[in-house]
Amino acid sequence: MVKQSKNSHWHFETNLKQHEIITITLCPYRSLGNRGYSYLMIGFMGLMFFLGLFFYFMGAWPVIGFLGIEIGLVWFLFKVNYKSSKNFEQILITKNSTLIKKINWRGAIINFTIESPWIKASCIKSRGTSDKLFLNYHADQLEIGKFLPPQEKALLANALNNCFEQMRGAC
């Protein structure tokens, strides 16, 4: 049984009886939904409006233009952040190979096929930077799940290794 946390950013499907395949999908986490984003922007624009009035009555009316630029910058940065949430990765595990599909926010797909029954997942903990999750095969390694939080990477490494063992046992 694969242990998956309650708020995990990945899920898996298994269909060993029919197609002998395990599918794991990794998705980035976004805590602010569309409604929350609307409320945040309305509140932020209201705050900037009142700050603009304050500066206008103090005689510093040129500040209003900079407050408008600030609103536009915050809006732009949130839009870029939401576009990056369209990234996801899909891992398809079969008896003979593992297919890793990485889809970026533009829709470009990069496929990696590992034809090795000796594949192993490992989570490397590091200081100062985020933990890294690798699929090791032969002398090579492939980093997956860059966007996952560190606590999820360790759980996913264990789940992947369990899936690899399960598929090796199905041979």
What contacts 130, CB < 8 A, 6 or more positions away? 146, 150
Over the chain, what is the mean pLDDT? Answer: 84
d(CA 17, CA 29): 32
Residues 106 and 76 in one domain: no
pLDDT digits (tens, 9 = 90+) for 11-34: 666 655 556 788 888 888 777 888
Residue with the bigger pLDDT between 57 and 168: it is: 57
Q: Is 34 exposed, middle or buried (0-12, 13-18, 19+ CB in 10 A)?
A: exposed
CA angle 88, 150, 23 (to 5 degrees): 40
Residues 118 and 76 in one domain: no
Mean pLDDT computed over 102-107: 86
Range of the domain at 115: 10-30+86-169
How many domains is the chain built from?
Answer: 2
Q: Tell me phi and psi for residue 11, to 5 degrees.
A: -145, 160
54 to each of 38, 40, 122, how far by Cα in Å? 24, 21, 56
Considering the domain boundaries, does residue 5 fall inside one? no
pLDDT digits (tens, 9 = 90+) for 122-157: 988 877 777 888 999 888 889 998 888 888 888 889
Residues 97 and 158 in one domain: yes
Residue with the bigger pLDDT between 76 and 5: it is: 76
Residue with the bigger pLDDT between 19 and 39: it is: 39
CB-CB contact of 2 with 162 (8 Å): yes
pLDDT digits (tens, 9 = 90+) for 70-89: 999 999 999 888 887 788 88
pLDDT at 3 over 80: no
The residue from 22, 50, 84 where one domain ends is 84
Residues 112 and 143 in one domain: yes
d(CA 93, CA 110): 16
Residues 93 and 165 in one domain: yes
